[in-house]
Homo-oligomer: A and B are copies of this chain.
Amino acid sequence: MPSRRHGIASDLRDRITTGHLKPGDRLPSEAQLAAQYKVSTATLRGALTVLQAEGLVEKLHGKGNFVRRSLRRITYIGGGYARDLHRAPDTALHITVRTTKIRAHGALTALLRVPAGSPLTEFLCLSYEAESPHSLARIYIPHDLAPAAVLNDPRPLEEASARFAALHPASAAVRETVNARLPRPEEASTLRISTALAVLAITRVTADKAIGRVVEAALLVLPGDRAHAVFTTTHAINEGQTER
């Protein structure tokens, strides 16, 4: 075995997949497991980090380590459609949105193709599933393109970007960039995930081809242990429908 912690991770993984440890079960405390495997707590925590990244184990500070109930609950659907996130149908999802007016700076000026200092509206969206944070989205829209209807939408939001569906232009070009990175400290605390757990970061830029402007930039952060992104494309005869 390449390392002690991978060996322990394999052993615990087997216990989970064979059903000796069932979904929802609490594992023995890290001190107990460390004693069982005769390793230091640091090494044992390394093993748990591996299983956490696989989505098999959920770590809850102060409570314990648990076998995750369902794997891969968050699915981001690519293609720039209004529906961003799908989740298990039997669970409630609610979202908080904080709206702020800011001015373009740093990477935002390049994404939105506006000069530095341009007025923007920022929507900070945090979605919850059963009281536990689920995903984080920061959506930026040039101020002159953010209609009052969106700002004052009275509907209780069902899904994050339902509110923004009206913004999507008739002829749009959507560019989504996906990468894996560690969360910034404040992202880790708002999503209540470990700072050692990678997140799936998606940057989505939507341009209206008719007016030749970027109408929205969305920075999405999904916990890497529970999320994946799906992109589906159909190719017509000898030519694609996705442009570069």
Contacts and interface: CB of A to CB of B under 8 A. Distances in A.
Interface of A: 1-3, 6, 49-50, 53-54, 72, 77-81, 168, 170-182, 185-186, 188-189, 195-196, 198-200, 209, 224, 227-238, 240-244
Contacts of A229: 177-179
A82 to B, nearest CB: 10
23 contacts: A2-B186, A2-B189, A2-B195, A6-B185, A78-B78, A79-B231, A80-B235, A170-B237, A171-B235, A171-B237, A172-B234, A173-B233, A175-B232, A176-B231, A176-B233, A178-B230, A179-B224, A181-B224, A198-B198, A231-B242, A232-B243, A232-B244, A241-B242
User: Which of A54, A232, A243 has the largest count of B CB atoms less than 10 A from its CB?
Assistant: A232
Tell me how many chains of this kind the complex includes: 2
Given A171-B235, A174-B234, A175-B231, 20 more contacts: A1-B185, A2-B185, A49-B182, A53-B181, A53-B198, A54-B181, A78-B233, A79-B240, A79-B242, A173-B233, A173-B234, A174-B235, A177-B228, A177-B231, A178-B231, A198-B224, A232-B243, A233-B233, A233-B241, A233-B243
A240 B224 CA distance: 28
